[in-house]
Amino acid sequence: MINPFRPLIAGINMFVESLRMAIANITANKLRSFLTILGIMIGVTAVIALITTISGVSSSISDSFTSMGAGSITVSTPGSDLKSGLSSEDLDDIAALENVQGVTPSVSLSVKAARNGVSETGITVSGVNEYYFINKPDALESGRSINPIDIADMSRVCMIGSDVMESFFYGVNPIGQTIYLAGVQFTVVGILAEDTDTSIASIMSGTPDILMPYTTAMKMNSQNLVTGITVYMNNPDDTEDVKTLLEEHLDALFSFEDDTYTITTMESIESTMDTMLSMMSALLAGIASIALIVGGIGIMNMMLTSVTERTVEIGLKKAIGAEPGQIQIQFLIESFLLSMIGGVTGVVLGLVVSAAMCSVMGTNFTINYGAIALGVGFSAAVGIIFGWSPARKASKLSPIDALRRM
């Protein structure tokens, strides 16, 4: 009786034998095989390490963005010639928009501070209101924070950071003490917590040395209009809705003139960063994949040498009945296997390298399965593409020419 699966089983047997022969050939000359796969190994290592490290960096950036900025919108309002900023009433109107929790104006200045004969220039001061503290509950170390009464009264009170405390209040409790800022006497009411958040986002935004009521800061700055605000929302999911409302409101406020304001959401910054990072990782992976092509050429070179060396063996196999296709498959399996050994080793090495880099940079290490698939897939493709021509050459060898060499 004829078994209908016979051709299939024969095919599998043939494949298993080809695999065995390929392994025997690869292990027969370990140094040469190792040197051959080195190119692929380095290429895959580089691709995996770069992609994994960059995706680690990118995920920690977006984590810190979320921690500091989700739920808020930054608006800069240089305004028009007629109206060059926002008034207190405008701020109240914006705070009254749907889903808006509150608005903090940001008024920044740089002043000279002095106390008891010690003076220092370039002290950064931010004018804020109570919403700043509602949205940054950890900001207060001791004392009290700036309250609505301070703002209404344009009180000369301030909160100081650790740098100012060391410079001017060494060994003294600063609460209740006075300090001159730009020649005006201020009472210290609170101490700001040292910013322990060393995330990239925090470094980018910077922490001011001193906080004071924004009304006081505007007065010191001889301004009566605000050119920058942060809008806080009740729920971060409302960002798009609030953004649309803000646009409508500001358009009306500035008489629909162009370039009177810009709205920046943390989501938009984050997505810009993401785009940049993924472009960068694609570029780097592209450069690294040149190593893969060079590795492929290495494999092709070794396979061509191997075909020449094994001419007699090929002739003998043909004489005992091997079909050209069977010879070709055997060589293809060998180059595929070589390339895959390089690829898999490269994946492991790449993960080790990127885990090390992530731990050095303090970012999260997450295994990027896409990168692994890319590395393995690419090396499989390299093995087949660059193995094809040597395998074809082997299969086309005339058995007589091959045997004449004996």
Partner 1 sequence: MNDIFFQMRKIVKQYPLGDEVSTVLRDVDLDVQEGEYLSVLGPSGSGKSTLMNIIGCLDLPTSGEYILRGQSVEELDEMELAHIRRREIGFIFQNSQMLKRMDALKNVELPLIYAGVSPRERARRAEEMLVKVGLQDRLHHFPNQLSGGQQQRVAIARALVTRPSLLLADEPTGALDQSTGKQIMALFSELNADGHTIIMITHDINIAKHAKRVVNIIDGVLSEPKGEVTFA
Q: Which residues bind partner 1 (CB under 8 A)?
A: 6-7, 9-11, 13-14, 17, 21, 24-25, 28, 312-313, 316-326, 398-400, 403, 406
Question: CB 38 → partner 1: shortest distance, Å?
Answer: 23
- 221, 215 contact by CB (below 8 A): no
Q: Which is nearer to partner 1, 31 or 320 (CB)?
A: 320
Provide the minimum distance between the beta carbon of 59 and partner 1 in the complex, in angstroms, as a whole number. Answer: 49
Residue 256 phi/psi, 5° resolution?
60, 25
Residues 6+ apart with CB under 8 A from 318: 324, 327, 397, 399, 402
Decide whether 13 or 119 has the Cβ nearer to partner 1. Answer: 13
CB of 318 to partner 1, least distance (A): 7
25 or 239, CB closer to partner 1?
25
User: Distance between terminal CA atoms of the chain?
Assistant: 43
Minimum distance of partner 1 from residue 3's CB (angstroms) = 10
- Rounded distance between C-alpha atoms, residue 195 and residue 151, angstroms: 24
Distance of closest approach, residue 35 Cβ to partner 1, in angstroms: 20
How many CA within 13 A on the CB side of residue 195? 17
Angle between helical axes of 30-69 and 6-28 (0-180°, round to 10): 100
The CB-of-41 to partner 1 minimum distance in angstroms stands at 25
- Which of 9, 96 has the CB closer to partner 1? 9
Q: Which is nearer to partner 1, 6 or 222 (CB)?
A: 6
Query: Please, what is the minimum distance in Å from the beta carbon of residue 339 to partner 1?
Result: 21
CA distance 370 to 353: 17
Of 404, 258, 336, 366, the closest CA to residue 25 belongs to: 336
- Furthest-apart CA atoms within the chain: distance in Å: 110
CB of 327: closest distance to partner 1 in angstroms? 9
φ/ψ bin of 99: left (φ > 0), alpha (ψ from -120 to 50), beta (otherwise): left
CA distance 210 to 194: 12
Give whichever of 115 and 317 is closer to partner 1, judged by the CB atom: 317
Gyration radius from the chain CA atoms: 35
43: buried, middle or exposed (CB in 10 Å: 19+, 13-18, 0-12)? buried
Nearest to 296 by CA among 344, 341, 349, 335: 335
Distance of alpha carbon 360 from alpha carbon 152, whole angstroms: 49
Task: Fill in the amino acid letter for 38.
Answer: L
Query: Would you say 332 or 382 has its CB closer to partner 1?
Result: 332
C-beta closer to partner 1: residue 63 or 313: 313
